[in-house]
Amino acid sequence: MSRPTPRLRTAIPLLGRTFRRFAPHLRQQRRLLVLGLLALIAEVGLRLVEPWPLAYVIDTLARAAGADVRAARTGSDLQTTLIICALALLGAVALRAAASYAMTVLFALAGNRVLARVRSELYDHLNSLSLRFHQSRRIGDLVTRVTGDVGRLQEAVVTAMLPLVGNVITLLGMFVVIVIMDVWLALVVLVVFPVFFLLGTRSTHKIITVSRSQRSAEGALASLATESLGAMPVVTSYSLQERMNDRFATGNDRALKDSVKGKRLSAGLERSTDVLVGLATCLVLFVGAQRVLAGDLSIGELTVFLTYLKTAFRPLRDIAKYTGRISKAAASGERITEILDQHPDIADTSWARPAPRLLGYVEFDGVRLSYGPGRPALRGLDLTIRAGERVAVVGPSGAGKSSLAALITRLREPDSGRVLIDGHDLRDLTLESVRSQVAVVLQDSVLFAGTIADNIGYGIGRPATSEEIVEAARIAGADGFISALPQGYQTELADRGVGLSGGQRQRIAIARAAIRQAPIVILDEALTGLDPDTEAEVVAALGRLTRGRTTVVITHDHRVAADADRVLWIEGGVLIADGHPDQVLQQVPDEVMS
Ligand code: ADP
Ligand code: MG
């Protein structure tokens, strides 16, 4: 998570790449963006105009003072001019406020909409990526990308990119006006810039370094907190609280120190900019006064000059702030596009068609599967499972049993060979149409936050009716304990179903599988880890779930295997024996079965 934060010079092109990636979303907001840009230009133009009425008043007064002041004071011409100038000033200020308001709102709206879409796209994309991708990534990191990084990009665009663009345009505009007014004075201002630039980049670099370190400290803190809070039973039973607290405090201190240091640096930069602005003002005042005395510049124009100087330097002071944010945003943008550029390695082929309603005749034809070079999991598996047959798969841990199951739902694709269902090569069928016809119950059944009814209903790709849900729960033998809960099916489950026993969780997972009415059912060690009391109920539930369906039961339980129509004994990715339970089970070493 602690990727180095790029510097501004690399950050801008990086952000450019990110925005090109977001171009379709940006195009959708074209109207808002164009309006916002117009408002921005109007705002800058008005900012340039603002000092002029004042200049005009000063010059008029000076001229009048040079003539007869008392006569001038009553002259109606002069009064009219003054009133017009005052109104013009008021008008400019009011219009600028309106333009600035419109600009802020329009850009914020466009930015938020674009990034909300990006966030959805990112989340959808993560869901579409294959198991292979997810097993190689840390969940926390992915979550940070969806929430933190998108948020940071959003904030940076609205609070740094746009003001920066506005300020740069303002600076350019002011400089053009200054050059037109008086080239010599413009040169004086130009001398101060390099000094400012040097000062600015040096501190900016330091600030970025500090904020990078702060970011990584915060990342480590977040990881520590997620880990320890997610494993509260372990932390408590091993009395790790003290040690966790210490580690947290140390990390917290580091983050705090960095944050204070960053603040000090940027405060320092702001103050030195103030001094520099003072110096520039002092120079312009002196040189400008000479030019006024020489008659090359009016007093009003000098005033405009000084006002511009003040306005122009204020945003410069913020550049450190902006660059920090922009550099961080660039890093975030990169983290987002990196995910979006990943392609799922298992996807529908161009010729894939939706599967018809399957009977459940499964064939493996010379199937080889490996997880990287030198890590074979299945070495040439030939196998047929008849529709409606109940097959137990036994073998030691690491034999390749789960890999076999993963091939049926095409979570993995064979390196060579074919997997067929009802005679269709799985690659000829769409993923969704196959997966929706296979129900899977795993050892660790994951329940989602939400009601029990929701969790069961997730089993089908459309909203389930309450009859379907209750029926599925009956099959799973879960209806009894669910109805006994005060809120019944509407009981909210905490994270991962905490608050239910292992057997209850498992039966909800079985209900989720049952509601699918799938012709093929896979049970991957669905009984492992249950206590004997609930085991009987779960076994009965699984029996009802799999009745009349093609069933693959991966198990270490002797009785469950003996109950099957056929037993496959796999070891080291090779099918060792395949036949009637009585035949096969007597060959299987005792330590494999319990
Ligand atoms: P079983 O379910 O029989 O315990 P698996 O099918 O899970 O076995 O694993 C078979 C082999 O493949 C094992 O050697 C295991 O280490 C390896 N394996 C399984 N999943 C992965 C993975 N995601 N990445 C790398 N190797 C894996
Ligand atoms: Mg397994």
Per DSSP, the residues of 277-299 read HHHHHHHHHHHHHHHHHTTSS-H
Atom of ligand 1 nearest to the CA of 525: 2
Domains along the chain with CATH numbers = 8-340 (1.20.1560.10), 362-592 (3.40.50.300)
**Cα–Cα distance, 287 to 293 (Å, whole number):** 10
Q: Are strands 550-554 and 390-394 parallel, antiparallel or unpaired?
A: parallel
**Cα–Cα distance, 160 to 526 (Å, whole number):** 53
Closest CA to 514 of 575, 557, 468: 468
Residues 481 and 494 sit within 8 Å (Cβ to Cβ)? no
**Mean local confidence (pLDDT), 273-292:** 85
Neighbours of 127 (CB within 10 A): 9
CA of residue 400 to ligand 1 center, whole Å:
6
Q: Is the distance from the beta carbon of residue 376 to the nearest atom of ligand 1 less than 6 Å?
A: no
Position 554 pLDDT exceeds 60: yes
- Per cent of the chain over pLDDT 70 is 93
Q: Is the distance from the beta carbon of residue 134 to the nearest atom of ligand 1 less than 6 Å?
A: no
Predicted structure pTM score? 0.71
Tell me the range of 62-66, 164-168, 422-426, 581-585 where mean pLDDT is highest: 422-426
Q: Which of 134, 136, 402 to mutate to test the pocket of ligand 1 (most atoms within 8 A of CB)?
A: 402
pLDDT at 6: 52
CA of residue 377 to ligand 1 center, whole Å:
6
pLDDT band (50, 70, 90) for residue 268: confident
What is the number of the ligand closest to the CA of 377? 1
**Higher-scoring residue by pLDDT: 461, 426:** 426
CA of residue 402 to ligand 2 center, whole Å:
4
Q: Which ranges constitute the DSSP H helices of 231-382? A: 232-237, 241-293, 299-317, 319-340
CA of residue 439 to ligand 1 center, whole Å:
21
| pLDDT tens digits for range 419-445 | 999 999 999 999 989 999 999 988 877
pLDDT band (50, 70, 90) for residue 539: confident
| CA atoms within a 13 Å half-sphere pointing along the CA-CB vector of 396 | 9
Q: Is the distance from the beta carbon of residue 136 to the nearest atom of ligand 1 less than 6 Å?
A: no
Whole-number Cα distances in Å, 583 to 55, 383, 391, 552, 563 = 105, 18, 14, 18, 13
Q: Provide the Cα torsion 547, 553, 559, 564; round to 10°.
A: 50
Whole-number Cα distances in Å, 418 to 198, 369, 407 = 65, 11, 10
Q: Report the mean per-residue pLDDT for the chain.
A: 84
**Mean local confidence (pLDDT), 467-491:** 91
CA of residue 495 to ligand 2 center, whole Å:
24
pLDDT at 381: 92
| Largest separation between any pair of C-alpha atoms in the chain | 125
* Joined tokens for residue 413: 């694709």
pLDDT at 3: 46
pLDDT band (50, 70, 90) for residue 496: low
pLDDT band (50, 70, 90) for residue 332: confident
pLDDT at 321: 67
**Cα–Cα distance, 436 to 429 (Å, whole number):** 12
**Cα–Cα distance, 333 to 342 (Å, whole number):** 15
Neighbours of 95 (CB within 10 A): 16
